[in-house]
């Protein structure tokens, strides 16, 4: 009979959270635990929380209930950003036994002496000023691609954001350790690595515990490009003021970095960008998009944008809408502004009514659909390389080209985690792209 304890994980939020959950899971496995799916019965359920939006906060209670439904006697632990920002609030949720803050989460097994349920959640949460050291992470085994954490924390003071309060100052992994982790990932037959962090363009700051930049983001990219065994490297979200033209030029000539950028804009109005305390104006954003498209015409460019920020009048919203409509981008991630405690924006005047926020969000989501469709149409007839995912979704297998076009084909397990050259042929009714194989003939089952 197997007496090993079982642990399950649920991750809310960003790619960075996924990389950290995977690392925490490996720590449990090293301590003799068996990892199981969150839908299965486990002795411990670990929920990695997010606090970027109000919705992520609300989802936490629902996920705790899901765990309790499977095993009412299970030990439930909460870690992550929400756990750092509002530990007492999480500890008061029925069923939660342990809450760990920003630095404590990586030592979670040290805090679990026994698995007895607690009447009240036990809290171990540092002052955020103490979150000044770096813990490396990467995800493997959960997806076709791996998320490699290279940086944590943020020194920016955007007026809407709680991340500096949840994760602390900007600090980086050593270049040596990043390269070691990348090599370990490549040895697991993972074809694609996505670089992740809170503010990855700030890479190099705090690399050895000091304030200065030991290396630049460009130097990181150049070093990773030389690691053997990696088929693809993808840059996740990067601030426009930190995405230098030198980096764009290098990616355009790289053997492994793919032509896909996700660049937060947040607003197309300089008035609002100032209120948000962003470190650029819209003119710089235009320059970055123009530079990318000049050297990589087929590049995919994703954009983060916030609607309903305090002071966003109808005129300023339309400024953003029209700016994005004219910009040569590929898709949008639209966030409806929600008030967060301990942020400057929460005290600002000019609060936008909820119905106006929803209407503006709907307009931008509609624009995103049109932008993605136009980008996909521009790729029809071109030859690209697809990395196929591992899931059978209603009889189809999906995958992504290097420039992030989502494709579909009848399910064939032999295609999972393989790269193939394809010719993009047409867009289906669901918005995904069909293709013909170029490199070889593959029989569909």
DSSP string computed for 72-89: TT-EEEEEEHHHHH-HHH
Report which secondary-structure segment, H or E, holds 217: helix 217-224
- Quick check: is 289 in a domain? no
Find out whether 259 and 235 touch, Cβ atoms under 8 Å. no
355 and 306 in a single domain? The answer is: yes
**Residue 398 CB contacts under 8 Å (≥ 6 apart), including other chains:** 388, 389, 391, 406, 407, 408, 432
Which of 98, 120, 96, 93 has the alpha carbon at shortest distance from 109?
98
What residues pair up with 10 in beta bridges, in sequence order? 47
Find out whether 52 and 83 touch, Cβ atoms under 8 Å. no
Find the radius of gyration of the CA atoms of the chain.
22
What residues pair up with 160 in beta bridges, in sequence order? none
Select from 126, 156, 184 the last residue of a domain: 126
Select from 126, 143, 175 the last residue of a domain: 126
- The whole-angstrom separation of Cα 390 and Cα 399 is 9
Taken in order 106, 108, 109, 111, the sign of the CA dihedral is: positive
Question: Residue 110, SS3?
Answer: helix
Ramachandran angles phi, psi of 89, nearest 5°: -65, -40
For residue 31, the Cα-to-chain-centroid distance in whole angstroms is 28
- The whole-angstrom separation of Cα 126 and Cα 396 is 46
- The whole-angstrom separation of Cα 17 and Cα 383 is 34
Report which secondary-structure segment, H or E, holds 300: strand 300-307
156 and 86 in a single domain? The answer is: no
Q: How far is CA 149 from CA 4, 21, 127, 167, in A?
A: 30, 11, 23, 14
β strands within 24-166, DSSP E: 34-36, 44-49, 75-80, 98-100, 122-124, 145-149, 151-152
- Quick check: is 284 in a domain? no
- Quick check: is 399 in a domain? yes
175 and 254 in a single domain? The answer is: yes
Helix, strand, coil shares of the chain, percent, nearest 5, are 35, 25, 40
What residues pair up with 151 in beta bridges, in sequence order? 172
- The whole-angstrom separation of Cα 212 and Cα 222 is 20
420 and 368 in a single domain? The answer is: no
392 and 336 in a single domain? The answer is: no
Q: In what order do the strands lie in the sheet with 232-235?
A: 145-149, 192-196, 232-235
Residue 310, token pair as written in the block: 């305090």
What residue numbers bound the domain in which 350 lies? 271-276+295-379
| b/e 188-219 (16+ beta carbons within 10 angstroms → b) | eebbbbbbbbbbbbbbbbbbeeeeebbbbbbe
Find out whether 203 and 217 touch, Cβ atoms under 8 Å. yes
100 and 148 in a single domain? The answer is: no
15 and 65 in a single domain? The answer is: yes
32 and 69 in a single domain? The answer is: yes
Residue 50, token pair as written in the block: 């997010």
311 and 403 in a single domain? The answer is: no
Find out whether 406 and 379 touch, Cβ atoms under 8 Å. no
85 and 179 in a single domain? The answer is: no
- Quick check: is 348 in a domain? yes
136 and 251 in a single domain? The answer is: yes
Q: How far is CA 314 from CA 116, 269, 303, in A?
A: 54, 12, 21
Which of 333, 340, 347, 343 has the alpha carbon at shortest distance from 304?
333
State the pLDDT at residue 442.
55
**Residue 367 CB contacts under 8 Å (≥ 6 apart), including other chains:** 321, 324, 325, 332
State the pLDDT at residue 237.
94
Select from 363, 379, 395 the last residue of a domain: 379
314 and 240 in a single domain? The answer is: no
Q: CATH number for the domain including 315?
A: 3.30.750.200
- Quick check: is 264 in a domain? no
Ramachandran angles phi, psi of 363, nearest 5°: -60, -45
Find out whether 172 and 204 touch, Cβ atoms under 8 Å. yes
Q: CATH number for the domain including 144?
A: 3.30.750.210
Question: Residue 36, SS3?
Answer: strand
- Quick check: is 41 in a domain? yes
State the pLDDT at residue 26.
93
State the pLDDT at residue 54.
67
- Quick check: is 281 in a domain? no
State the pLDDT at residue 441.
53
State the pLDDT at residue 285.
98
Ramachandran angles phi, psi of 346, nearest 5°: -65, -20
pTM here? 0.92
- Quick check: is 63 in a domain? yes
Count of domains observed in the chain: 4
Q: CATH number for the domain including 29?
A: 3.40.50.12160
State the pLDDT at residue 56.
65
Reading the chain (445 residues) residue by residue, the pLDDT tens digits are 357 899 999 999 888 989 999 999 999 999 999 999 999 999 999 999 987 666 766 789 999 999 999 999 999 999 999 899 989 989 999 999 999 988 899 999 988 877 777 777 889 877 777 777 788 899 886 668 999 999 999 999 999 999 999 999 999 999 999 999 999 999 998 999 999 999 999 999 988 777 788 899 999 999 999 999 999 999 989 999 999 999 999 999 999 999 999 999 999 999 999 999 999 999 999 999 999 999 999 999 999 999 999 999 999 999 999 999 999 999 999 999 999 989 999 999 999 999 999 999 999 999 999 999 999 999 999 999 999 998 899 999 999 999 999 999 999 999 999 999 999 999 999 999 999 999 765 544 4
């Amino acid at each position: 009979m197997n007496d090993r304890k079982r642990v399950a994980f649920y991750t809310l939020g960003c790619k960075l959270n996924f990389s950290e959950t995977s690392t925490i899971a490996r720590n449990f496995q090293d301590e003799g635990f068996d990892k199981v799916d969150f839908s299965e019965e486990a002795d411990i359920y670990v929920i990695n929380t997010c606090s970027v939006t109000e919705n992520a906060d609300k989802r936490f209670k629902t996920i705790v209930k899901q765990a309790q439904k499977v095993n009412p006697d299970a030990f439930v632990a909460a870690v992550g950003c929400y756990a750092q920002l509002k530990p007492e609030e999480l500890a008061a949720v029925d069923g939660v036994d342990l809450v760990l803050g920003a630095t404590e989460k990586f030592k979670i097994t040290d805090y679990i002496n026994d698995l007895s349920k607690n009447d009240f959640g036990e809290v171990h949460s540092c002052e955020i000023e103490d979150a000044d050291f770096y813990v490396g992470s990467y995800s493997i085994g959960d997806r076709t691609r791996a998320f490699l954490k290279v940086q944590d924390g943020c020194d920016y003071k955007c007026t809407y954001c709680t991340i500096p309060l949840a994760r602390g100052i900007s600090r980086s992994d050593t270049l040596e350790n990043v390269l070691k982790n990348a090599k370990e990932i490549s040895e697991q037959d993972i074809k694609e690595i996505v670089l992740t962090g809170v503010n990855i363009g700030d890479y190099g700051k705090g690399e050895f515990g000091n304030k200065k930049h030991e290396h630049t983001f460009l130097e990181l990219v150049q070093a990773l490009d030389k690691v053997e065994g990696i088929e693809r490297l993808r840059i996740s979200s990067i601030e426009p003021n930190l995405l230098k033209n030198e980096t764009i030029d290098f990616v355009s000539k790289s053997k492994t970095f793919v032509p896909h950028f996700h660049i937060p804009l947040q607003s197309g109005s300089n008035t609002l960008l100032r209120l948000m305390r962003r470190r650029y104006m819209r003119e710089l954003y235009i320059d970055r998009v123009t530079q990318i498209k000049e050297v990589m015409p087929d590049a995919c460019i994703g954009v983060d944008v916030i609607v309903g920020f305090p002071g966003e009048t109808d005129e300023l919203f339309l400024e953003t809408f029209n700016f994005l409509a004219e910009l040569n981008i590929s898709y949008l991630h639209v966030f409806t502004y929600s008030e967060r405690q301990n942020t400057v924006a929460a005290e600002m005047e000019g609060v936008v009514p909820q119905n106006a926020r929803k209407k503006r969000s709907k307009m931008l989501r509609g624009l995103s659909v049109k932008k993605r469709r136009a980008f996909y149409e521009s790729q029809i007839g071109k030859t690209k390389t697809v990395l196929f995912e591992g899931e059978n979704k209603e009889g189809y297998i999906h995958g992504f080209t290097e420039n992030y076009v989502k494709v579909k084909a009848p399910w064939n397990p032999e295609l999972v985690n393989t790269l193939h050259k394809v010719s993009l042929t047409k867009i289906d009714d669901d918005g995904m792209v069909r293709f013909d194989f170029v490199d070889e003939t593959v029989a569909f089952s």
